[in-house]
Amino acid sequence: MKYRTFPKTGEKISLLGFGTMRLPVEKKGQSARINETEAIRMIRTAIDRGVNYVDTAYTYHDGFSEVVLGKALKDGYREKVFIADKMPVWILKEDGDPEKIFDEQLKRLDVDCIDMYLVHNVTAPLWKRALKYNILELLEKKKAEGKVKHIGFSFHDNFEFFKEVIEAYPWDFCQIQLNYMDADFQAGVKGLKFAGSKGIPVIIMEPLKGGKLTDILPPSIEDFWAQAPIKRTPAEWALRWIANFPEVLVILSGMTSIEQVDENIRVLSKADPNSLTEAELEIINNVAAEYNKLIKYSCTGCEYCIPCPEKISIPAIIGFYNDWHLYHESPKVKVDFKTWISPKALPSVCKSCKICEGRCPQQLPISDIMKKSQSIFE
């Protein structure tokens, strides 16, 4: 495993971090039912092979991500890792909520201290809420009590606002979404470089766009990779593209199988900064341009939009809508839609309340997408 240096303390952190938002589940679509045995085996295997950064959040897997991570870190594993956890600003209702949630997180994880604590999903409206609920003051108190070591934020808004947030507080680190498709989206590469110029290390989330860059590939994308003179998997190309930036401290991947753990460890055990050639970067740029022609809406399947009051599986429906366009209106996509989407939760059930749109880190026009999906699939 490659390691990079956390500037504040000089500690070495593994380039691959284990994101626990997409752990294997017992039943597809039921994110609270984590396959615990397999998830624990995957997390421990990663740690045994040099991963020392694990990322969770209060809301992942309906709260069970923290619980299962806590179990995985028993038997001496806790001492081997930096734990990252986050304050879900959007669910706060009363002044006492942040501290209650923080205490619950320590209990769920069964630890005394969270190494890296983030204000979760910072966008302009959620930043206002974070200030209203005095989250930074609470985190400083927790730091003084020895319950938090480093304070950061995870970000999902535009570059201009990213600069504002970076300047607003002496952050120890920050976390942004980045992959070769999102180089100019949200904070993007400009944000990465800006944070780097301020000496703030950057953790990367969604490096494979939630699996969209590695799941079944459209034929034209397969052709691009097949024609590349160097043979690499799509995951390897995507991870190497990020590892190429020296400003990156950790690349979080939400691995769902032991094979993915194996591969991502293999790739990030040999990826150095500034190691890709101009020709390699051009291949990746060409693939990104082709995807941009094909993809309609850049949903990453993060599930922040759910639960929907009408119980619509929003990410799944957006996925089918995108697939319809990616795979040239293949009838197979309609068959899959019928298999997976319950007749009680079709896009036409959407009442356009737009609660989901306020939560979506990608700011997608979800109610419009439901209308468009209805006209294709119903």
Q: How is 29-85 classified by DSSP, letter by letter?
A: T-TTSB-HHHHHHHHHHHHHTT--EEE--TTGGGGHHHHHHHHHTTTTTGGG-EEEE
Cα(47)–Cα(249) distance, integer angstroms: 17
Range in contact with ligand NAP (rule: CB under 6 A) among 20-28, 134-142, 284-292, 362-370: 20-28
Q: Does 362 bind ligand NAP (CB under 6 A)?
A: no
CB of 23 to ligand NAP, least distance (A): 9
Could you tell me how far CA 28 lies from the centroid of its own chain?
A: 19
CB of 257 to ligand NAP, least distance (A): 6
Q: Does 14 bind ligand NAP (CB under 6 A)?
A: no
Q: Does 85 bind ligand NAP (CB under 6 A)?
A: no
**Phi-psi sector, 87: left (phi>0), alpha (psi -120 to 50), beta:** beta
Range in contact with ligand NAP (rule: CB under 6 A) among 43-51, 105-113, 248-256, 364-372: 248-256
Instruction: Give start and end residues of each alpha helix (H) in 198-257.
Output: 219-227, 234-243
Structure tokens at 160: 């201009």
Secondary structure in 3-state letters for 78-89: HHHCEEEEEECH
Q: Does 218 bind ligand NAP (CB under 6 A)?
A: no
Q: Does 187 bind ligand NAP (CB under 6 A)?
A: no
Interface map 148-177 toward ligand NAP (x if CB under 6 A)? ------x-x------------------x--
Query: Of 250-289, which residues contact ligand NAP (CB under 6 A)?
Result: 252-256, 260, 263-264
Of the candidates 150, 148, 201, the residue with the CA atom closest to the CA atom of residue 176? 201
Range in contact with ligand NAP (rule: CB under 6 A) among 17-25, 89-97, 106-114, 284-292: 17-25
Query: Of 102-121, which residues contact ligand NAP (CB under 6 A)?
Result: 120-121
Nearer to ligand NAP, 148 or 255 (CB): 255
Cα(172)–Cα(334) distance, integer angstroms: 47
- Give the interface with ligand NAP as residue ranges (CB under 6 A): 19-22, 55, 86, 120-121, 154, 156, 175, 205-211, 214-215, 235, 252-256, 260, 263-264, 300, 302, 361
